[in-house]
Amino acid sequence: MRQTERHVPVGDTRLYVVERGEGFPVLVLHGGPGLDHTMFADYLDPLTDSYRLVLVDQRSQGRSDETPPETWTLSRMSADVSALAAALGVEHGYAVLGHSYGAMVALQHAVDHSGEPAGTIVSSGLPHQRWLDTIGERLAAFEPEELREQVTASWDEEPETRDREHLVSILARQMPWHFADPRDPRIAEYNDRTSGLVGSAGVLRHMAAHGYGGIDVEDALPSVEHPVLVLAGRHDRTCPVDAAEIVADGIPGAELAIFEHSGHMTFVEEQADYLQIVRDFLDRVRR
C-alpha cells in the first residue's frame, strides 16, 4: 500500500496529512477535539484498494502546526477542509469522512461549502450542541456502576487536560463509554493500535471549556446540495441515534445507516459492515 506523509500549507497554517492508497480522494477527519489521525489506526485501510485516504491532523492538532486559539472554531476547521482540497489539487472531486468531532467539522463543511465535495460521510456526529449539554445526565445512568466514576472523571478532566500523557489517560479511561459493551475486549486492542497518538492537550482543554465549539447547523441542513451518508451506532451514548435521524431527515436525499451492535466506535465495533456501507456510498458518489 502506497503511503506518504507531509505538511500541506492551508492559508495561515500547515496541516499534517498521511495519504494511503490511490484513487478517488477521501479527506478523513479525526475526532476529539484534540486527537489526531492515528485514532483511525488501520481500521479504514481496506478502502485503499480503490480510494486515496487523506488522513488529516486538523488545525493545531497532532503533528499540524500550532495556531492561535481564536482560530480553533468549527467554521475555520470547515474552511481548512476546502483549502486542503485545493492545495492537494482535488477540489473538483473528493469526499469527506468525519468521525465524532470530525463528523461535526464535516457537517459544518457540508453546510458552509454545500455542493463542493462529491459526498460527505457524517460518522457518529451531532447537528447541535444540546446533546453535549446533556451528557451529564447520561453519565449518571451509565452502567456498569463500577466503571461510572472512572468514566465520569475522564469527562470532568477534559477542561483541565495538562499534556499528552494526561490526554491519553483521559481517552483510555473514557473508552468504555464509547463502546456498546463497556467491557468489550476490543477496547484494549484499540488502545494498542492507536498508541502513536500525539494529539493536542491544549485544544482539548480549550474546546472542553468552551462548549466544544458550539455546533449548531440544524436549521441549515436543508441547504446541503450534495449527497450525504449519516452513520450512527444504536448504543452511542455521546451522539445518540435521534441526532443522526435529525441530520438525515434535514438534508435532502441523505442516507442513514444505523449499526445495531455499536456504540460510538462504529468503525471498530462493526468494521466489515461499516467499510461496506462507506464503500458503496463512495462508489456511487465518485461516478
Give the pLDDT confidence score for residue 2 in this predicted structure.
81
The 10 Å Cβ neighbour count of residue 275 is 16
Write the pLDDT tens digit of every residue in 36-92: 999 999 999 999 999 999 999 999 999 999 999 999 999 999 999 999 999 999 998
Give the pLDDT confidence score for residue 227 in this predicted structure.
98
Contact 138, 242 (CB under 8 A): no
Write the pLDDT tens digit of every residue in 165-218: 999 999 999 999 999 999 999 999 999 999 999 989 999 999 999 999 999 999
Q: Is 91 helix (H, G, I), strand (E, B) or coil?
A: coil
Over residues 232-237, mean pLDDT: 98
Q: 100 in the Ramachandran plot: left (φ > 0), alpha (ψ -120 to 50) or beta?
A: left
Contact 21, 2 (CB under 8 A): yes
DSSP β-bridge partners for residue 279: none
CA pseudo-torsion sign 164, 166, 169, 170 = negative
DSSP β-bridge partners for residue 54: 19, 27
Residue 232, C-alpha cell as written in the block: 450512527
Q: pLDDT grade, residue 149 (50/70/90)?
A: very high
Give the pLDDT confidence score for residue 268 in this predicted structure.
98
Q: Where are the alpha helices (DSSP H) in the chain?
A: 74-88, 101-112, 130-133, 135-140, 145-157, 164-178, 186-193, 201-209, 241-250, 266-269, 271-285
Residue 240 has pLDDT above 90, yes or no: yes
Contact 200, 60 (CB under 8 A): yes
Give the pLDDT confidence score for residue 287 in this predicted structure.
83
How high is the mean pLDDT of the chain?
A: 97
Q: How far apart are CA 137 and CA 133, in angstroms?
A: 9
DSSP β-bridge partners for residue 27: 54, 96
CA geometry: angle 100, 104, 109, nearest 5 deg: 140
Over residues 91-110, mean pLDDT: 97
- Interhelix angle 201-209/164-178, rounded to 10 degrees, is 60
Give the pLDDT confidence score for residue 283 in this predicted structure.
98
**Predicted structure pTM score:** 0.98
